[in-house]
Structure 1
Amino acid sequence: MFELITPQGGRTVSAILFDKDGTLLQFVSLWGSWSECLLNRFTEHLGKKGLVIPEEVFPSLLGTVHDHNGVIYDYDRNGPLAMGTMEDIYAILSWQAYLSGLSWVESIELVHLCRQEADEMLEQKRPVLPLAGLECFLDACASQGIPMAVVTADETAAAEKHLHWLGIRHYFAEVIGTDQVVHGKPFPDMLQLACRRLDLDPSGVAVIGDTNGDMRMAKAAGAAVGIGLTGTASYESALSMLPDADIIVSSYEYLQIEEITE
């Protein structure tokens, strides 16, 4: 067993399960770039058909925060982009295209085309950056021998790719994407699957994530502790974003791991 040491006390755990986006890698760097490309292509293709989506609608589509130039610099941690599946996102855009005047079939085809273009941009730029203190914490965990896995709302193949881009795939015994389970977050399915594969009891694992969906998954599975990462958000904002977190920290610099020896 291991002790996960936090500013709010230590917790005895047997493993750590990490969310990916916003927890291992900087969310806006990857998904802000992808979403900007997706939305830009979406509006361009609609414009060619004489259809227009008002700019003020954009933030409500995916839960993104834009500056006056349309650049995404933040996101709603409990919004569709942060917590939804890729299928959720495509359904939202397809519905918007349908409301704008396309048939449902045309809407689905348009969103599929935009997704391909956004994915191609990611392949070329690979805009992945680690969170502050992440690699030091992963190194410390690996040196202590604590089992680690990733449980993400992203699809497994994409998650594997992003972890390889970041150079951290080797730290994790398992990568569980939402495509491997019937119900994604906030339901317990991914956590339970990871524990079965690692031969662990869910009651002994810690979950680290940046959304309340991660925290609710942890509670639904009976995990030992749910730790919410807030980044630069104020503590008051963090409490409203992560009401189900057991412990809240701004970065990995406030976490330590030690093996418990008799």
Structure 2
Amino acid sequence: MSAGLRGVQAVLFDLDGTLADTAPDLAGAANRMRQRRGLAPLPVERLRPVASAGARGMIGVALNVGPGDPAFEALREEFLAEYAAALDVESRLFDGVPELLSRLDGAGLPWGVVTNKATRFTGPVLQALGLAGRAAVIIAGDTTPHAKPHPEPLLEACRRLAMPPSGAVYVGDDLRDIQAARAARMPCVAAAYGYLGEQGDVSTWAADHVVPHPLALLTLLGV
């Protein structure tokens, strides 16, 4: 564990489950698919833990179909179309995130978003949340040839910010976020308030720090 993050020059965030609670809209798309097939909708809380996995996670829980199934690709396209039609209905920033970002802005500390969500969804979601014009850098899942846990999205963010990976910190709520940061040799923080995915025990992720609430990051950063 590192002593702190006071030397950090930029903060990079995952989107779903870290900056914003997008699970209600993702779950809405999955439940419309269930209803189309005569199935009862699932509670959002049943789908929330896999929200960071996007279409794969939602289809897996809602319809019990995974990427190895021949039917998966058609279901994935259906899910993405459903999500695109209503991706900003109930999505909200987590409590504390508006204050966190305002403090970072006030401290002159640039922040950005590195997500596996495709550009065609990332842009509208960030626009609806009021973040699109504020982020210093936005890296979506298709910005580079690789997605997390590959380090390339984080490395590309640092290139655009003109700083070494060691100068930034990545905050995420999924194991692959921490794996990506480790591979990029970037300090990392696990967001224990987020979705946490299928490997939900953050103590096993080897993150540099774990925060129970977005505002706890400010103490680590000393701002």
1:201 aligns with 2:173: no
Q: Which residue, out of 21, 39, 43, partners 1:71?
A: 43
In the alignment, the residues of structure 1 paired with residue 59 and residue 194 of structure 2 have an alpha-carbon distance, to the nearest angstrom, of 31
2:81 corresponds to 1:116: yes
Give aligned pairs, total.
Answer: 215
Unaligned runs of 5+ in 2: none
Describe how 1:134-173 pairs up with structure 2 within 5 A.
134-173=97-136
Per the alignment, residue 210 of structure 1 pairs with 173
Matched, 1:247 2:209: yes
CA RMSD of aligned residues (A): 3.4
Structure 2 Cα separation of the partners of residues 116 and 158 of structure 1: 11
| Whole-angstrom distance in 2 between the partners of 1:113 and 1:232 | 26
* TM-superposed deviation, 1:119: 2.6
Note the C-alpha offset of 1:148: 1.2
Length-normalised TM-score, structure 1: 0.69
Cα 1:28/1:241, change in 2 over 3 Å:
farther
1:85-108: per-residue Cα shift (whole Å, max 9, x none)? x5x569977966996xxxx5x875
More helix by share: 1
Partner residue of 2:4 out of 10, 25, 43: 10
Stretch moving more, 241-250 or 68-77: 68-77
1:172-220 CA-partner distances (Å, limit 9, x unpaired) = 1111111112221111010001111111100111001111111111100
Answer yes or no: is the 8 Å Cα contact 1:14–1:205 preserved in 2.
yes
Gaps of 5+ in 1: 1-7, 45-54, 56-67
The residue matched to 1:181 in structure 2 has which SS?
coil
Map of 2:149 onto structure 1:
186
2:18 is matched with 23
Of 166-175 and 146-155, more deviation after overlay is shown by 166-175
Q: 1:207 to 1:116 in 2, by over 3 A?
A: same
Cα offsets for 1:108-136 (capped at 9, x unmatched): 5565345423432x15x621111110010
Q: Normalization by structure 2: what TM-score? A: 0.80
Q: Which string of whole-angstrom CA distances, capped at 9 and with x for unpartnered residues, describes residues 5-25 of structure 1?
A: xxx852121111100000111
Larger of the two Rg values belongs to structure: 1
Letter in 1 for 2:154: L
Q: Give the direction of change, closer, same or farther, for the CA distance of 1:192–1:108 in structure 2 (3 Å limit).
A: closer
Structure showing the higher strand proportion among its residues: 1
* CA distance in structure 2 between the aligned counterparts of 1:183 and 1:164, rounded to whole angstroms: 24
Tell me which amino acid in the other structure corresponds to 2:210: I
Q: Cα distance, 1:150 vs. partner?
A: 0.5
| Identity across the alignment (%) | 24
- Give 1:51-90 correspondences, 5 Å limit: 70-75=42-47, 81-83=51-53, 86=55
Secondary structure at the aligned position of 2:20 is classed as coil
